[in-house]
Structure 1
Amino acid sequence: MLRFTLVLCLLLSGYFGYGQNNIALGAWRVHVPYHQGKAVADAGDKVYVATERGLFYYDKEFNTTETVSKVDGLREQQISTVAYDTDTKTLVVAYANTNLDLIRNGKIININDIFRKAVPGEKRINHINIHNKQAYISTTFGVVVLDLVKLEIRDTYSNLGPTGELVNVRASAVLRDSIYLATNLGVLGAKRQGVNLQDFQNWGSVSGDLPAAGAVSGITAFNDKLYASTGYGLFVLNGTRWGVEPWAANVDVTSANASFHYLTVVANSKVFLLNKNGQIQQLNDPLLTAPKQAAVSSEEGKVWIADGNKGLVLMNLTGTDAAAFAPNGPFSGNSFRVYTHGGNVYVLSGGFSEVYLQNGTWNGFYVFSEGEWQSFNRYIYPGPSFVKGYDIIDAVYNPVTEKLYLASYGNGLIEWEGPEKGKLYNGLNSPLLSTLSFSDKTEYVRVTDLAVDADGNVWVVNRNQFTNSPGLHKLQPDGNWKSYVLPGAADGSNLDQIVIDDYGQKWLSIARRNNKTGGLIVFDETKNALRQLSIGEGAGGLPNADIYALTKDVNGDIWVGTAGGVGVYYNTGIVFSEPRYDARIPIIDRRPLLDGQVVRTIAVDGANRKWMGTDNGLWLFNPDGDKLIKHFTKANSPLPSDKILSVAVEHKSGEVFIATDAGVASYRGEATVTEGEPECAMVYPNPVRASYTGLVGVSGLPNNADIRITDVAGSLVYKTKATGGTVAWDVRDYNGKRVKAGVYLVMSSSDDGQQTCVSKIAVLD
């Protein structure tokens, strides 16, 4: 026992293992812009903050923030609002798709009645008001009453208009024996007892002399008074007449919430506190840049503010000692493409539509490195020396110049060495063309894709929409440019993506739905050779002419994702010499691979397996594409959306980063790439505790190494082959039984026997 304890101490002291950035094989994490706070709920020992795409809480006792996501059991990521009931100790989380989660005693309870309810038109949750253990949920079709004790829908009040039509209920409030609703028709009211609230005839207008009654955005009961939030100020009901609060007149009231002895009001990006004595106080601090909602902890004398730029801002009631809290995350949930290099992950926030109209996004790009996000854009770095490019959509690292290059779908090409050291190429200092006119040099200079060849040339695809003008350019390491017109096949009006094969040939996709033939162009500038590949036998054999994805795999083959499936071009060296050069269509379950689906992205991992993104989730196939290994969707994984825009593999860890139309997630895959000669493998988790039921990952092995796992006496426990530079072990022997506690040796060897490694795994009782 003493010997085992000594070995275990050596293991825990850092003899081998992963850093804090690593997650277990098969584990997920979501990457949320937690600083974009929108709603706040004080839950006693915790304060919950809802952001556009996530949820986190601040632990008052430990002064820490913790995230809550689909990884933890939430049904969705895109949140509408949150509210907390102190009586039942329940947090109500409302999602953008009208699903509901209740968090109580560490458990998550899903209530999907509203989500499943079929209603005409838009369906959205606007507000949650909790009264007497009932959650009054305001929606675009009425009010749904959720019993927080019985965990069931008690009532639904819909069709409340004057003639029984649907009304958009923006908020609700209960005051004495009545319930009031802020709707698109103004303020409606009804008695709560002795009447049928499902009958529209029992509801009446309480709008009175409110200006523009339909503009009432909220309703709140505080200090035995009723307050209405509008774009013209905060109004209070006195008898049958509404009067504006002088301190909140002619302002746009974003939110008004009653909490303990205060009414917190956010108006014109300012926070006001109204106490029960009618005293007003405005909170001022540089941290309050975009307040959305506030709550007061009366016992603690604290104000908690959800801020759109800072996440959660904490202040005293006097407006002093302000501090901001938010878990680390990217600047925004906007994501269009993902690129990885050197252990870093780059998420590009820009984009364009299906018909190539730019989004106009200035959110820049975000870099994930060593477990932390850092973002770069004009908001974070407003200085004049920062290169300001909107719709950043692609990135590529040039190992020759040791610089990062960024594609802007609007401003041109950015040569990036840091926020204060960058160079912008546009029509003023390069041959890049604008889509507006030949005379415009700086606006609408659209770069759609980038690639770097073996000589350090940066190839730039410039979509300028001028026929017979160059759409392909080359920035050489010496700073000089060369431009190419591809006559008879493709020009600046219809190029999109680029991949360079092992022979230096440029594979270019033709813009979707902009050319009758569509498909691909293969171009070799040294031979001045060009070939077009499209649909049809003998003409290229693609399953569809609309191209969404191009990638080169480990073997040098070109994989093409189209609007109707996948095609593969093998032996690219014969593309110009072979009279018939058609794509091979992988067959799986007797059907073409992803037949009829839009394949938006294809990524290759360290084992040459193919990760593919469609509008129906994320798919993993074997190297040949004829066997499905995994299929992830919103329903069976923490993916925030089924519409996958881009996928990239960080080869050192094997983590797969996925950009969706609702944000970014990542999954720790089993395949890595080991660069150079490995020193020794890394094991995670280590030690393996008795409660752990997942896979143990051993990474940093010789690529595709033979693996043998033995006990310390040398008895063979398990034998396998590495997936790239990683092996996954389920802590079981050949008979499927979990191994006994002890130390196990992982012995690996490359095919030629030149690279060997011995690692240790401690398994605990």
Structure 2
Amino acid sequence: MRQKISGFTIYLLFLSFPNLLHAQIALTEWRSHLPYSHGIKLTATPDKIFCATESAVFSYNKNDNSIEKFSKVSGLSDVGISTIEYSHENQVLLIAYTNTNIDLIENNTIHNLSDIKRKPISGLKKINDIVFINQFAYLSCGFGIVVINLEKKEIKETYYIGENGTQIEVHELAFDGTYLYAATEHGIYKANINNPNLIFYSSWILMTGLPNYKKNFNAITIFNSKLIVNRSDQNSNTDTLFVHDGSNWSAFDTRQGIQNYSINSFTNRLIIASGSLIRIYNKNLEQINEINNYGWSIPHARCALLDQTNTLWIADFEAGIIKTSDYVNFYSFLPNGPYNTDVFSISVEGGNLVLSGGGLDGAWNNIYKPGELFTFENEQWNSIIDYSIRDVVKVLVDPANPNVFYAATWGYGILQYENGKPLNHFDDSNSTLESIIAGEDFIRVGGLAFDSKHNLWVTNSGVGSPISVKKYDGSWENFPYGSIVNAPTISDIIVT
């Protein structure tokens, strides 16, 4: 069974092709090729905006407009980012990974804390968010709350705040100077931070008074002395925002069909990132701005913040970092890279590299993933996402013309591209390829190979003639080897 190759393994595969990278890096050096478009979290230092993506971290320098990439190759301890946060008081950047590993970056030095990663925990091991209070970092985790002493660079204690001290997923924390509030999968909990017994679950009180108060709350913040929370309902895709004024709860902005990813508060502004919508409120919780279009794309906002110049920065899941100062002009910043980390097939020829992001399940059935093709040429990645096809399982660069490549699909035949543009689509109407079910998209091609005469040989699973060849003159011929092959599915093919 073929397995997908992770984005990290790509480094190793790239090093296998010295002709492709010879001019850029030395033979013994490492290099990362990661996607940077899927922004999930932002944090600001005095002169930089850091963006966490699903795969890596990058920063944008507001002074000189430079972009810097951070990955395991550049010194980080792990791959797969969960969240990120910067402490202005401690001048520390904390990076949390999806496997709960942690890096503290201070004075250009990386300190790794792998305690949570190494500790066997039966619950959900993940880090959702980070809040800094004095010299401590409070981590919202899938099992509770972890407190890190930033000065000693060690874990201070862990709070299991669920009923009777059970594990409970904490999505986010907020602090008003006295109370620590936790948005969890089963409601909002609060505790006095001066209580010396926060490690005991009885110190944490479940807040009541709002509808369905034991439901899932994924976001929380303090704004203008008010507690703002979001109750998440992924089943209906409609979240509800509530405000607590110190005495009573009330709902606000109860529009339907909106999923709120983050709520961030600043001196006089509240910003809510809701995917295709970013809303900005004043101190009276009156909406003063709404962003639902960049002019060149709709938003896919996961997080938004204001810097000291009131410039709005957005972590966008399709465009990396978005910047706007006037809410009219929007600019995207991100390093060049492939669209995602999914790699199922790879081919290189004449300095051109092509990857496919398709796949199959363990029984060789379709997973119906949109056609994903990534090319690397002249130090630039380009991504081709074709929703008219599914499951690209094999790519092959033409050795006679590296600007041309072929993409085999598990159901839609073969596509031919030239200079990144579709050139031909071969199926049962213009080739000898056959569909398992006539007239349906079951033309399953799993293998491609050129012979010395530039004939393209292909495998065609589940049909009576499982081998076809596209000859150099453009004509096609198939071979009735079904009884000889005697297998329901055929993968790759090698021509000797």
Using the size of structure 1 for normalisation, the TM-score is: 0.58
SS in 1 for 2:253: strand
Q: Which moved more, 1:227-236 or 1:271-280?
A: 271-280
The amino acid that maps onto 2:304 is A
CA contact (8 A) 2:41 2:51 kept: yes
Go from structure 1 to structure 2 and tell me whether the alpha carbon gap of 1:219 and 1:487 turns closer, same or farther (over 3 Å shift). closer
CA deviation profile, 1:529-579 (whole Å, cap 9, x unmatched): xxxxxxxxxxxxxxxxxxxxxxxxxxxxxxxxxxxxxxxxxxxxxxxxxxx
- Aligned mates of 1:71, 1:400 — CA distance in 2: 34
How far is 1:432 from its partner?
A: 2.5
Matched, 1:312 2:307: no
The amino acid that maps onto 1:406 is A
SS in 1 for 2:215: helix
SS in 2 for 1:75: coil
How far is 1:95 from its partner?
A: 0.4
Structure 2 residue aligned with 1:532: none
Matched, 1:217 2:245: no
How far is 1:42 from its partner?
A: 0.7
- Aligned mates of 1:440, 1:288 — CA distance in 2: 37
The amino acid that maps onto 1:391 is D
CA deviation profile, 1:311-354 (whole Å, cap 9, x unmatched): 100111x4133211001111111111221001111111111233
CA deviation profile, 1:612-668 (whole Å, cap 9, x unmatched): xxxxxxxxxxxxxxxxxxxxxxxxxxxxxxxxxxxxxxxxxxxxxxxxxxxxxxxxx
Using the size of structure 2 for normalisation, the TM-score is: 0.88
Structure 2 residue aligned with 1:163: 164
Go from structure 1 to structure 2 and tell me whether the alpha carbon gap of 1:72 and 1:401 turns closer, same or farther (over 3 Å shift). closer
How far is 1:64 from its partner?
A: 1.3
- Aligned mates of 1:111, 1:337 — CA distance in 2: 35
SS in 2 for 1:345: strand
SS in 2 for 1:72: coil
CA contact (8 A) 1:451 1:500 kept: yes
Structure 2 residue aligned with 1:476: 471
- Aligned mates of 1:208, 1:475 — CA distance in 2: 71
2:273 maps to which of 262, 266, 280 = 266
SS in 2 for 1:497: coil
CA contact (8 A) 1:122 1:140 kept: yes
2:75 maps to which of 64, 69, 73 = 73
How far is 1:247 from its partner?
A: 6.9
- Aligned mates of 1:333, 1:473 — CA distance in 2: 31
Structure 1 residue aligned with 2:54: 52
Structure 1 residue aligned with 2:206: 205
Go from structure 1 to structure 2 and tell me whether the alpha carbon gap of 1:480 and 1:66 turns closer, same or farther (over 3 Å shift). same
2:480 maps to which of 466, 478, 485 = 485
Percent identical among aligned pairs is: 30
1:495 maps to which of 477, 490, 494 = 490
Matched, 1:445 2:435: no
Superposition map of 1:295-334 within 5 A: 295-297=305-307, 299-316=308-325, 318-334=326-342
- Aligned mates of 1:28, 1:192 — CA distance in 2: 46
The amino acid that maps onto 2:365 is L
The amino acid that maps onto 1:292 is R
Matched, 1:188 2:173: no
SS in 2 for 1:163: helix
Superposition map of 1:581-620 within 5 A: none
Structure 1 residue aligned with 2:299: 289
- Aligned mates of 1:66, 1:76 — CA distance in 2: 17
Go from structure 1 to structure 2 and tell me whether the alpha carbon gap of 1:268 and 1:375 turns closer, same or farther (over 3 Å shift). closer
The amino acid that maps onto 1:58 is Y
Structure 2 residue aligned with 1:355: 363
Structure 2 residue aligned with 1:394: 394
Go from structure 1 to structure 2 and tell me whether the alpha carbon gap of 1:150 and 1:156 turns closer, same or farther (over 3 Å shift). same
CA deviation profile, 1:409-462 (whole Å, cap 9, x unmatched): 231111222454422122333332334x2x233x23221110011222211112
Matched, 1:369 2:367: no
Superposition map of 1:695-710 within 5 A: none
How far is 1:389 from its partner?
A: 2.7
SS in 2 for 1:176: coil
Higher Cα Rg, which structure: 1
- Aligned mates of 2:219, 2:86 — CA distance in 1: 18
SS in 2 for 1:253: coil
- Aligned mates of 1:108, 1:57 — CA distance in 2: 16
The amino acid that maps onto 1:290 is H
CA contact (8 A) 1:98 1:114 kept: yes
Structure 1 residue aligned with 2:4: none
Gaps of 5+ in 1: 1-17, 380-387, 502-765
SS in 2 for 1:272: strand
Go from structure 1 to structure 2 and tell me whether the alpha carbon gap of 1:25 and 1:487 turns closer, same or farther (over 3 Å shift). closer
Superposition map of 1:654-665 within 5 A: none
Structure 2 residue aligned with 1:257: 264
CA contact (8 A) 1:472 1:492 kept: no
CA contact (8 A) 1:485 1:491 kept: no
The amino acid that maps onto 1:269 is S
- Aligned mates of 1:50, 1:428 — CA distance in 2: 46
SS in 2 for 1:115: helix
CA deviation profile, 1:706-736 (whole Å, cap 9, x unmatched): xxxxxxxxxxxxxxxxxxxxxxxxxxxxxxx
1:143 maps to which of 145, 154, 160 = 145
How far is 1:371 from its partner?
A: 1.5
2:31 maps to which of 29, 32, 37 = 29
How far is 1:241 from its partner?
A: 3.5
The amino acid that maps onto 2:278 is V
Number of residue pairs matched by the alignment: 467
CA contact (8 A) 2:101 2:113 kept: yes
The amino acid that maps onto 2:435 is S
SS in 2 for 1:396: strand
The amino acid that maps onto 1:477 is Y
**RMSD of equivalent CA atoms:** 2.3
2:98 maps to which of 96, 99, 112 = 96
Matched, 1:108 2:123: no
How far is 1:45 from its partner?
A: 0.7
Structure 1 residue aligned with 2:344: 336
